[in-house]
């Protein structure tokens, strides 16, 4: 699973970026899933990114990565696709084909097109109309997913999107600041996430079983439990996983991945293991002798 951002935000959004990524995903032996990030479309209108139309780039991604109801990869997995022309494209309303869902071995997974850059409400060319349509579609897809997970007696739900929506007042350099009880943003920036977070909190509370939210965006690996209820109590069944992100100042120093072991029989269902790529270790290079130990 790739949780968005195929490239840096200030580099061109040329077709070759997407076709190259599609080739990589297609070459993987296992099913390969993807959800768009802000660097892939909302930020493409930046002059440094080529001054593209953000909607045109999203349309291009939809046509390339999401043209069938199957995942990418050599072993393709059939997925449920959100139905109805609920999202906006260049020519009007289109199907939100990037919003996917699948259930494997008693666990339900869902992707939502929720990018950073205020969920398309800030940066170079904010688009409130596009946001409003897609946000409503995302809320519907989230609620429908939890309803289906309950119907199927799923042991857990994993939600995957790109944005770090911000959870509290503790992380001003990496995420929006918000009141952890009301979830209202407090830093004066446009808030493209409060409705999603409010809906997510309600579903997590009602579901009671483990829920994992996987995202990228702020390029800082962490696994924690930042979601509180309206009285300030931590939701113990909710876990946030922020995946590694390429910090350009550090070269490949932060380019690694996370292995998730999933077992519906376990109390917490998900187990997470950091997979440090030996060739990307810079400050403390990998011990080459250890690489050959079986």
Mean pLDDT of 31-60: 97
Question: Is the CB of residue 100 less than 8 Å from the CB of residue 111?
Answer: yes
CA–CA dist 210, 172 (Å, integer): 28
Residue 234: CB partners within 8 Å, gap ≥ 6? 225, 227, 228
Domain of 263, CATH number, reads 3.30.750.180
**Residues spanned by the domain of 115:** 79-292
CA–CA dist 245, 256 (Å, integer): 8
- For residue 244, being part of any structural domain is answered with yes
- Count: domains in the chain: 1
pTM confidence score:
0.96
Confidence of residue 289 (pLDDT cuts 50, 70, 90): low
- On average, the pLDDT of the chain sits at 95
- For residue 215, being part of any structural domain is answered with yes
Give the closest residue to 162 by CA, choosing from 69, 20, 43, 29.
43
- For residue 26, being part of any structural domain is answered with no
CA–CA dist 18, 6 (Å, integer): 8
pLDDT in tens, 218-251: 999 999 999 999 999 999 999 999 999 987 777 7
């Amino acid at each position: 699973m790739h949780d968005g951002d195929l490239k840096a935000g200030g580099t061109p959004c040329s077709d070759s970026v997407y076709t190259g990524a599609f080739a990589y995903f297609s070459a993987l032996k296992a099913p390969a899933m993807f959800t768009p990030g802000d660097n892939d479309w909302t930020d493409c209108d930046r002059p440094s990114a080529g001054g593209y139309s953000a909607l045109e780039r999203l349309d291009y991604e939809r046509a390339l990565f999401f043209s069938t109801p199957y995942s990418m990869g050599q072993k393709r997995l059939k997925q449920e696709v959100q139905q109805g022309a609920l999202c906006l494209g260049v020519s009007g309303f289109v199907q939100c084909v990037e919003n996917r869902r699948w259930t494997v071995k008693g666990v339900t997974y869902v992707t939502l097109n929720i990018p950073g850059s205020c969920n398309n409400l800030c940066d170079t060319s904010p688009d409130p109309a596009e946001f409003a349509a897609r946000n409503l579609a995302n809320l519907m897809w989230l609620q429908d997913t939890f309803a289906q997970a309950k119907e199927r007696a799923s042991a857990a739900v994993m939600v995957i999107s790109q944005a770090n929506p911000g959870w509290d007042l503790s992380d001003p350099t990496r995420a929006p600041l918000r009141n952890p009880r009301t979830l209202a943003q407090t830093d004066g920036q446009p808030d493209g996430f409060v409705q999603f977070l409010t809906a997510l909190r309600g579903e997590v509370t009602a579901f009671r079983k483990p829920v994992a939210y996987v995202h990228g965006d702020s390029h800082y690996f962490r696994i924690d439990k930042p979601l509180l209820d309206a009285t300030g109590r931590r939701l113990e069944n909710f876990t946030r996983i922020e995946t590694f992100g390429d910090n350009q100042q550090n070269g490949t120093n932060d380019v690694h991945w996370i292995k998730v072991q999933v077992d519906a029989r376990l109390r917490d269902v998900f187990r997470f293991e950091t997979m440090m790529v030996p060739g990307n270790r810079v400050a403390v290079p990998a011990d080459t002798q250890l690489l050959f130990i079986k």
